[in-house]
């Protein structure tokens, strides 16, 4: 496993992040335990979850895994999120709505700590921007939790480039460290972040964590299989047959390229985005041990210039703005 720094921080995390959204749903608790143990054994020290995955059940599974001992909690850089209104059973009334008020941050954080049976979280992420809550309130709320030792770093998710810049500007005014990470959709079929998001993140010391690196399953090779052999995976991920059909020629070209270089589609999909200097880690969300083991190969694959050129032909990138905008006039 390879490691890198999380944004401008001194915290080192693995180049693959274990996503846990499937835990408690399509992945049983027993299998989730096996996957987390295997991930740690493989050198993955970065785990991502959210308070609203499984309405809190995913965090509970992680907590029971930590409770087994064996240094499990100490080996993990733990990241969870706040925004959706599922914090705790006792929370009721209008403040249960989605958002990032100081009230909600405190309530959700305490609930996440209880579920995961830990006294602190390394990375606490705002799951979405909340334009009804000021940065005065946000940075003060996070500052209190950091002072109490309940969180170490603050991150974001689904923010735009302007939101990242605003967050860092407001943090600097208060002599605060600011955001250390942004979790964002990014894959070979969705390279829009290369225009503004990734350049802004690099400039402001924010590590980008990519979710949906397989394009919701399209880049994993299943799109080429007959529908009866896919185990209705696309139904599970909300994928429509129309979307598969629209991209079929592109996906078949990608599959042929992967065969030429002797690597599987899922490995190349991960290796392709790992090339970007602004990317800290893609999130891999294995449903099985075999899927986890397959993903590990991505860190070892080194694509040469001709391979990169071929990938760019199949999945044209944008490049950073504003030059890309000018070229497309």
- Catalytic center residues: 53
Q: How far apart are alpha carbons 89 and 92 in whole angstroms?
A: 8
What is the greatest pairwise CA distance in the chain? 59
> Strands 46-48 and 17-19: what pairing?
parallel
Radius of gyration of the chain (CA): 20
Q: Which residue's structure tokens are 């696309």?
A: 234
Q: How far apart are alpha carbons 285 and 200 in whole angstroms?
A: 26
Return all residues near 48 (Cβ < 8 A) that are at least 6 apart.
17, 18, 19, 20, 79, 80, 183, 209, 283
Angle at 95 between CA 93 and CA 99, to 5 degrees: 145
Q: How far apart are alpha carbons 76 and 282 in whole angstroms?
A: 16
Assigned token pair, 305 = 């210039």
Q: How far apart are alpha carbons 144 and 98 in whole angstroms?
A: 21
Assigned token pair, 300 = 């070892």
**Length of the chain in terms of residues written:** 329
User: Which residues does residue 185 pair with via DSSP β-bridges, in sequence order?
Assistant: 211
Q: How far apart are alpha carbons 53 and 94 in whole angstroms?
A: 21
């Amino acid at each position: 496993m390879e490691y890198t720094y999380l944004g401008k921080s001194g915290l080192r995390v693995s180049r693959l992040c274990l996503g846990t959204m499937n835990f408690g749903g399509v992945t049983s608790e027993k299998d989730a335990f096996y996957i987390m143990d295997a991930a740690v054994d493989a050198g993955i020290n970065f785990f991502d979850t959210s308070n609203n995955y499984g309405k809190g059940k995913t965090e509970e599974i992680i907590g029971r895994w930590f409770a087994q001992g064996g240094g499990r909690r100490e080996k993990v850089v733990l990241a969870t999120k706040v925004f959706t209104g599922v914090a705790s059973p006792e929370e009721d009334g209008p403040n249960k709505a989605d958002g990032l008020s100081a009230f909600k941050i405190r309530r959700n954080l305490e609930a996440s700590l209880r579920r995961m049976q830990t006294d602190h979280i390394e990375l606490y992420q705002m799951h979405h921007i909340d334009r009804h809550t000021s940065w005065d309130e946000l940075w003060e709320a996070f500052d209190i939790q950091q002072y109490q030792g309940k969180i170490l770093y603050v991150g974001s998710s689904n923010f735009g480039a302007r939101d990242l810049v605003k967050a860092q500007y407001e943090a600097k005014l208060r002599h605060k460290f600011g955001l250390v990470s942004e979790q964002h959709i990014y894959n070979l079929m969705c390279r829009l972040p290369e225009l503004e998001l990734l350049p802004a993140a690099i400039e402001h010391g924010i590590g980008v964590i990519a979710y949906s690196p397989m394009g919701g399953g399209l880049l994993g090779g299943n799109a080429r299989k007959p529908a009866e052999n896919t185990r209705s995976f696309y139904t599970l991920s909300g994928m429509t047959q129309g979307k598969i059909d629209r991209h079929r020629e592109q996906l078949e070209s990608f599959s042929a390229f992967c065969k030429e270089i002797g690597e599987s589609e899922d490995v190349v999909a991960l290796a392709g985005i790992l090339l970007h200097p602004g990317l800290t880690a893609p999130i891999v969300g294995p449903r099985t041990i075999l899927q986890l083991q397959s993903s590990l190969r991505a860190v070892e694959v080194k694509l040469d210039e001709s391979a990169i050129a071929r990938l760019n032909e199949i999945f044209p990138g944008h490049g950073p703005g504003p030059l890309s905008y000018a070229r497309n006039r």
